[in-house]
Each structure stands twice: as structure tokens, then as C-alpha cells.
Chains A and B, each alone.
Chain A
Amino acid sequence: MIRKTRVPMREQDPAARIHNFQEVPFGYTPEEAIQEAKRCLQCKNAPCIGGCPVEIDIPRFIAHIAAGDFRAAIRTIKEANTLPAICGRVCPQETQCEGVCTLGKKFEPVAIGRLERFVADWERKRGMELPPVGEPTGFRVAVVGSGPAGLACAVELRRFGHAVTVFEALHEPGGVLMYGIPEFRLPKDIVRREIATLQEMGVELVTNAVVGKAFTVDGLLADGYHAVFVGTGAGLPRFLGIPGESLIGVYSANEFLTRVNLMRAYLFPEYDTPVRVGKRVAVVGGGNVAMDAARTALRLGAEEVLVLYRRTEAEMPARREEIRHAKEEGVKFHFLVNPVRFLGEGGELTAVECLRMELGVPDESGRRRPVPIEGSEFVMPVETAVIAIGNQPHPLVPRTTPGLSVTRWGTIQADEDGATGRPGVFAGGDIVTGAATVISAMGAGKKAAQAIDRYLREKAAG
């Protein structure tokens, strides 16, 4: 008899966790993991594999867990994905592997993400096994950006035996995993551990290296790199473009989260970077970044955190789990409102003026377009606002690399293997797709690495 519901994962109590930055879920115990793994039907067509952007052999790794062979389980995952501790935490499994799980048609789907996370954590405690590295090929590849796309690409290239150097603009590698996703959702020690694994595999990491400034793609090719992968992500913050947006107290989500995550402003003054949060905080947006910003603001001591979203809960792009976490923690949601103006005194934010919206006809994304209700303006007093309405592709590499075709959204044009208009230059992740998920960027990085490998071997064959 199969359990209808998934084995619950224990979590920090909301009342306690809003006062700390420690991770919210505790993860499964071995017993819980085995119990959950036994719910898997082991169906032959395995739709979950197709639902995974990096095509992990999900039924096989779950079968190993059910048999108590956690080492075999992690090996299975790592054949396809070298960063499972990260993916197990931040993938939107509900729309990927778990979304197509056969069991999910009648009951709750198998908790694939929790199981992935469990074996990754188990391995980290027992000692990590290095994925095998290929025989040296004599080829050198430069990877630009050390976010999910760049890391996945670098690992795959090492497996083929190519020498890999990753260039990172910031002082610490990891990209959005370090600066964007908060500690309580993805502990930074885990990211550092995964990156250390890459280095143990022989990936060379160069920090403080801005490609598009001191380095250029053409300069790297001239310096003896045989191919370049561009995974510079969508790091440019979007603002609302409304009056008062430069008042003190208005942050982009990137600034707010970078201060707290990468720079550890939550430990100020032990760490030097400050962050200021008022009693009442408005977060504008409905995605995962908005949820991260809202929950971070609570942990920094805000008394009231409001999420302002111009559509309704049903249209929110944030993961359901993140919305649930935010609600449990006391974040208040105001739907169908859109800020039109920030108000301030002496240069500091004091309030936000909003318009009420209603949903009209669907737009090109298929979601009903929010339409302002005339005369519905109202003012909410707030001391801090965080703009989390999305990021744009970073323009530095496209701007400094002649011959790359760039779309009107600023993304680099690349085929599904990451090949751009320039031979030897590949791209993947948010710089190609616009802001998307960690795992889709990893999938793109991995695919590009395979294409780079083919390109190099063809080149060698003459």
C-alpha cells in the first residue's frame, strides 16, 4: 500500500526562524528518505527524467535510496548533475520532475527534490567523491561567469579532459548562488563546498576578473583559449522607472540581497557592509527573488513586510513552497496593486503610492494583463522598498564582443547547443534565455560543454 502523501520534511518553526539566517528545512533522516523513496512506482516510461533539464536517472537513484545504498544513489545523480546539493534545494521540482511524476496523478508526487538533497547532504558528510576527469586533450577553454551555467559547463568540460579556467567578476565564485539566493534557502558553505569540488577536479578559478573590461572574449581567444563559454547571467537590475525611485531606502533586489548574502550585512558591524531596513518594508514583485527579499527583510528586523504584486496569487511566478514559507513567517501580500510613486522627506523614503489593478485579457505570456483602475490611488507608509521585478542580461560581454548577435532584449543569440554567431564562442543560461532558473542554466551549461567538446575535436581532426 503506497502512502498517499509524501513524507514531510521537518522545518524550523516560523516564529524562531524569522530571527535567524539558518536554513529553514532540516532535510530527511535516512529512515525518512527510505520511506519516501519506497513511494516511487519505478515506472518504465519514467516521465520524471524528461522533466529534468539535466536528465538525471531519477527512478534509478530513488531505487538505490529505497535499498539503503546512498552511495550508489549519489553516483547515479552525479552522472548527470554535479551540483545536487544546490539543485535539491532551489530547483522548481513541482514544475519539472515532480510535475510529471506518475504517482502525482492520483496522490502527491514523489518528493524527488528532497531525496536529491538528502543524498547530496549525506555524501557531503561522508566525504565527496570526485567525478572522473578525462585524459588531457591539450585544449583550453575559458568560462566567463561562475554562476550555475558556468559551473555546470566547467565540470562537463573537465570530464572531457579539457583544461578549464573560470573567470568571475566578483571576489567570490558562485554568481547568483552566492549573491542572490539567501543563506536560509541555500547555505553558502554548501556552495563553497561544491565549488571546491570543481577546483579539486582541476578547474582553475580566477576571481576579480571582469570580462568586458580588463579581459575580453577576443583577448581570451588570442591568449590561447581554444573556445569561450559565456555564462554571464542576468545581473542587471530592473527598476520601475517611477518618481522617487532614487530616494534613500529604495533598493534593487540585487543590491539588497548582495549586501546581505555576498557581503554578510546581516552580521554588520562584524562584517563591514551595512544594510538598512525600516520598520515597514514593501517588496515589489511576485517571483522567487521577491520572496527572498521579503523573508530577508523580516530576518533583518522589519516589523511588517508587504509584498506588492500587480496580479493575483495565481499568477505569481514564485514557487508555491516559497510563498508558503513567506506566509508562515508573516509576510503580508497585497495583490492587484502597482506602485506609481515613491514619496520621501529629506531624501529618505516615507511612503509608496500605489494604484489598484484588475486583470484584463491575457498577454503574450498567457497571463491576464493587469490594468490600472482609474482613481484608485492610495498611499502606504513604508521606510524601505525593494524592487524585485526582474533582471536583465548583463551587457558587458555582448557590448565588447564584436560579431555576437544580440536580441532586442539584450540576450545573446545562441542555438540550443549554445553556439553563437562566432566560431568557438558559446553561451548559455540567463544571458541567452533572460532570467530563468538555476537548473535550466546548468542544463544549458552542460549542453554547451558537449557542443564545445565536439567543436574542439572536429577542429583537432582538421
Chain B
Amino acid sequence: MYTIVKKRGLADQITEYVVQAPVVAGAAQAGQFAVIRLHERGERIPLTLADWDAQAGTITLVVQAVGKTTVELEERFHEGDALADVVGPLGEPSEIEEYGTVVCVAGGVGIAPIHPVARALKGAGNEVICIAGARNRGLLFWLDRLSDVCDDLIITTDDGSHGRKGLVTEPLKELVEGGGVARVWAIGPAIMMKFCSLVCQAAGVPIVVSLNPIMVDGTGMCGACRVEVDGVVRFACVDGPEFRGDRVNWDLLIARLAAFKEEERCALEQFRAALKEARE
């Protein structure tokens, strides 16, 4: 039983779930993901692991309610309820080594999956600088947890309501141009990872990104998650999800993320209507 043992709102539409999944928790490494399914009629969605506790047999998922499945999770699944399925850990773990000084950039809900990567890098002896950005203060979370696993935490918001006003790419640019940064990790919306990659590429600093294309099985079987890296088709689920950001075909990734836009909108609308009806 994949029981939700803890559910906690972190920010606007962003919720933390601690879920019983001992198999996943026992084998998880930074950078890997799990695929979940809510119920018998549910779709399979990939979520990068935000944390895990092998002893307790739990994993932590941080989910932004944006589509039918994530909104349903938020609205209908509470502490004590169980998810139908959790499978993982999937994908290759992050390549954690002692690089020297590394920068971990997180955009929005990407703060959650960058956390174990920063922790692992720190544990390997790196000097870790984190940059966490969001549109506004209300969308930031886990800043305490992040500062626990890095040497320096830079915060940005688009509207200046917390930290520096502006995008994560600005402090990133200063850091990589300033020299001494051996490697950068970036996790967040595709467009943010694309611009982080451009910044790093210009400065000649290697950047690793965690891609989030549409997946069905997550084990290499369907090919829905194909991405182009260095001009070669790769499957994000088994070859990734992390790739060198300067080598990713971003436009293709961004286009493919919208493959089912119309269907996703229709499913969400129907679900919201059903929710409203149930409440009235």
C-alpha cells in the first residue's frame, strides 16, 4: 500500500506528500524519479524524488497542482489515503563527484528535486551554491532545507517580493562568468533550464539539467519521452533524466511537452466541473 503518511501545503498550489514506498526509498539516489498512478483509471506520471527515508520506507514528492492528475491528487488524496501505484527509482542517478565549486539552480517547484542533488554534491565535498527562484514569495518553499545542504543560497523572485528581483539566470551569469564554477545543475521549467544552459554555454561551464518530457511507462518501453541530445534521440526515462543542458534540443522538448495540450485542458475542465458539482 502506497499510503500518504504526511501531506503538507508548501506554497500556492504546491504540496509535499510523504508516501510509503519502501522499495523506492531503499534504492533511491539523487536525480532519480518515480512514476505514480492515483487509481484504476489513472494515468502514469513521472515525479522526480524530492527526498526519501530508507529506514522509514517513505519517499517525499513535491507536486504542483497544474493538470488533472495533480489537481486530483491535491483535492482528493489526504493523509491515510493510498496511491494505486508507485514505481521506482527510475532513471540514472546524478553523476556525483567532487568537482570543486558547483551551482545548483532551481526554478519554482524545481526546488524540491534539486534538494537531494545539492545534498549529494555537498556530501561529496563540493562547495555548493544554490539559486532558488520563483515568480513571487508565495511560491517559494523549503528554503531552510536548501540552505542546510549548501554553502550559499541566493533567492530571486520575478517581482522582488523576496530576495533579488529578477530571474535565476542573472546571478547564475555572474557566478559562471566570475570563474571558478566547475559545474552547474538546473532543475525547473524547460524554458528556465534552456536559458540557464545558454548562460553556461556562453561561459564554457558544463551544465546538467533534469528533463521532464511526457512519459507513459518510464522504463524504456514506449519512447514517448524521446529527446534530442547532441543530435541523437535519447529516452529521458532510461538514458536520463539528466543530460548536458548545452546539448539538448530545447525547442523540440518544449514543443513535445504540449503534445496533449488540448486533451489535458479538457480533462482538467471536466474534473473541475465534477468537483464543483460534488461540492454543491
Given A171-B44, A214-B24, A347-B255, residue A272 in contact with residue B224 (CB < 8 A):
no
A contact residues around B217 at 8 Å (CB): 169-170, 179, 258
Find chain A residues with CB under 8 A from B275 CB.
Answer: none
| B-contact 0/1 string along A168-208, CB 8 Å cutoff | 01110000000100000000000000000000000000011
Sorted nearest first, the 4 A-B pairs with minimum C-beta distance are: A347-B255, A274-B263, A255-B222, A208-B87
- Within residues 28 to 42 of chain B, which ones have a CB less than 8 A from any CB in chain A? 37-38, 41-42
Given contacts A214-B24, A264-B41, contact A396 B86 (CB under 8 A): no
Q: Cβ of A272: which chain B residues have Cβ within 8 Å of it?
A: 38, 41-43, 68-69, 267
Residues in A whose Cβ lies below 8 Å from that of B56: none
Taking the complex as formed, is B278 at the interface, i.e. its CB lies under 8 A from any CB of chain A? no
List the A side residues contacting B228 at CB < 8 Å. 246
Given A213-B88, A248-B258, 10 more pairs with CB closer than 8 A = A170-B217, A210-B90, A213-B27, A213-B89, A246-B226, A255-B222, A272-B41, A273-B216, A347-B256, A347-B258
Instruction: Tell me if A252 is interfacial: C-beta within 8 Å of chain B.
Output: yes
Which residue in chain A gives the minimum CB-CB distance to B68? Answer: A272
Residues of A within 8 A of B23 (CB): 208-209, 214-215
CB neighbours (8 Å) of A395 from chain B are 220, 238
CA distance A255 to B68 in the complex (A): 21
Chain B proximity mask over A236-278: 1 for CB below 8 Å, otherwise 0: 1101010001101001101100110001100011111110100
User: Is residue A235 within 8 Å, beta carbon to beta carbon, of the partner chain?
Assistant: yes
- B42 neighbours in A (Cβ, 8 Å): 271-272
Q: Return B94 CB to nearest CB of chain A, in Å.
A: 15
**Inter-chain contact B87/A171, CB cutoff 8 Å:** yes
Q: How many Å from the CB of A387 to the closest CB on chain B?
A: 9
Q: When the two chains form their complex, are residues B216 and A263 in contact, meaning their CB atoms are under 8 A apart?
A: yes
Query: B233 to A214, Cβ gap below 8 A?
Result: no
| A394 interface residue per 8 A CB criterion | yes
For the complex, give the distance between the alpha carbons of A264 and B37 in Å: 14
Q: Determine whether the beta carbon of B220 is less than 8 Å from that of A235.
A: yes
List chain A residues, Cβ under 8 A from B41. Answer: 264, 270-272
Name the CB-closest residue of B to A392.
Answer: B220
- The answer to whether A258 touches B222 (Cβ under 8 A) is yes
Contacts of A263 in B (CB 8 A): 43-44, 216
CA distance A258 to B226 in the complex (A): 16
Kindly state the separation between the CA atoms of A433 and B68 in the bound complex, as whole angstroms. Answer: 41
Given the complex, which residues of B lie within 8 Å of A264, measured CB to CB? 41
Q: Is the pair B233, A245 in contact by a Cβ cutoff of 8 Å?
A: yes
Q: Give the CA-CA distance A346 to B68 in the complex, in Å.
A: 25
Instruction: Looking at the assembled complex, report how far the CB atom of B76 sits from the nearest CB atom of chain A, in whole angstroms.
Output: 13
Q: Is A276 in contact with B259, judged by CB distance below 8 angstroms?
A: yes
Instruction: Using known A-B contacts A171-B87, A214-B26, A273-B43, determine if residue A268 contacts B221 with beta carbons closer than 8 Å.
Output: no
Nearest-neighbor residue (CB-CB) of B69 within chain A = A272
The CA-CA distance from A180 to B55 in the complex, in Å, is 38
Interface presence of B85 (CB below 8 A): yes
A246 near B233 (CB under 8 angstroms)? yes
Across the interface, A274 reaches (CB within 8 A) one of B37, B88, B260, namely B260
B270 at the interface (CB under 8 A from A): yes
Contacts of A254 in B (CB 8 A): 221-223
Most chain A CB within a 10 A radius of its CB, from B43, B264, B270: B43
| B residues 191-233 in Cβ contact with A at 8 Å | 216-217, 219-224, 226, 228, 233
Minimum CB–CB distance from B228 to chain A (whole Å) comes to 6
**Complex interface residues of chain B between 241 and 263 (CB less than 8 A to chain A):** 251-252, 255-256, 258-260, 263
Tally of chain B residues near chain A (CB < 8 A): 43
A182 to B41, CA, bound (A): 18
B44 & A239 in contact (Cβ 8 Å cutoff): no
Residues from 273 to 319 in A contacting B, C-beta threshold 8 Å: 273-274, 276
- Give every chain B residue within 8 A of A245 (Cβ-Cβ): 233
Asked whether any CB of chain A lies closer than 8 Å to the CB of B84, the reply is yes
* Complexed CA–CA distance, A255 and B226 (Å): 11
| B266 lies within 8 A of chain A by Cβ | yes
Q: Which residues of A contact B38 (CB under 8 A)?
A: 272
Which residue in chain B gives the minimum CB-CB distance to A399? B238
Q: Which chain B positions have C-beta within 8 A of A239?
A: 223, 226, 233
Complex formed: what's the CA distance from A236 to B214 in Å?
Answer: 17
Interface CB pairs A-B, < 8 A, 25: A169-B87, A179-B217, A207-B85, A210-B87, A210-B88, A210-B219, A213-B88, A213-B89, A214-B24, A214-B26, A214-B88, A215-B23, A235-B221, A236-B221, A237-B223, A241-B233, A246-B228, A246-B256, A252-B223, A255-B223, A258-B221, A263-B44, A272-B267, A274-B264, A276-B260
**Are B86 and A394 in contact (CB-based, < 8 A)?**
no
Interface 1/0s, chain A 385-408, versus B by CB < 8 A? Answer: 000000000111000000000000
**Pair A248/B256 contact, Cβ less than 8 Å:** yes
A-side contacts of B219, CB under 8 Å:
169-170, 210, 235, 396
- Whether A171 lies near B85 (C-beta < 8 A) is yes
Query: Which residues of A in the span 202-239 have a Cβ within 8 Å of any Cβ on B?
Result: 207-210, 213-215, 235-237, 239
**Cβ of A394 and Cβ of B85 under 8 Å apart?**
no
- Choose one: A213, A215, A276; the contact of B263 (CB below 8 Å): A276
Question: Which residues of chain B come closer than 8 Å to A169, judged between CB atoms?
Answer: 87, 217, 219
- Residues on A with C-beta less than 8 A from B26 are 214
Measured CB to CB, the closest approach of chain A to B217, in angstroms, equals 6
Give bound CA distance, A328 to B121, whole Å.
Answer: 61
CB-CB under 8 A from B256, the residues of chain A are 246, 248, 347
Binary per-residue interface labels of chain A (147-172) against chain B in the complex, 1 for a CB within 8 Å, 0 otherwise = 00000000000000000000001110
For B221, what are the chain A residues with a Cβ–Cβ distance below 8 Å?
179, 235-237, 254, 258, 394
